[in-house]
Amino acid sequence: MTTIKFNDYLRKQLEDPKFKAGFELESAKLASAVATMAAREAAGLTQRELAKKANVPQSTIARIERGDNTSIDTMSKIAFALVARLTIGFSK
C-alpha cells in the first residue's frame, strides 16, 4: 500500500477549483470561529457569560465557535461585549 503525505494530497486536491472554493470557505469560517473563541477565553468569559453581555443566545456563541455562519450584526454585538473592534477584510 502506498502512503502519501497529507500536504501533498491537499495540494493535489486544491488544483480542483470546486474543491478549492469549498476549502477556502470552510477555512474562513474556521478562522472566525478560532478568533471568537480565543477572544472570549482571553476575556475570561464562558460562552454563557459572553452571550449575556452580547445579548444573544448562548447557542449562538456555540454555533459561531463551531464554525457555523453568522451575521456581521451578531459579530458586532460580540465585539462590543468583548470591548474589541471587529475587523473585516479581503486579501489575496
Whether 42 is covered by a domain: the verdict is yes
- Could you tell me the residue range of the domain that residue 47 belongs to? 6-81
Number of domains in the chain: 1
pLDDT above 90 for 38: yes
- b (16+ CB within 10 A) / e for 59-76: ebbeebbebeebeeeebe
Whether 88 is covered by a domain: the verdict is no
Nearest CA to 66 out of 23, 22, 19, 26 is that of: 26
pLDDT above 80 for 45: yes
Give the per-residue pLDDT at 88: 87
Total residues found in the chain within this entry? 92
This prediction has a pTM of: 0.78
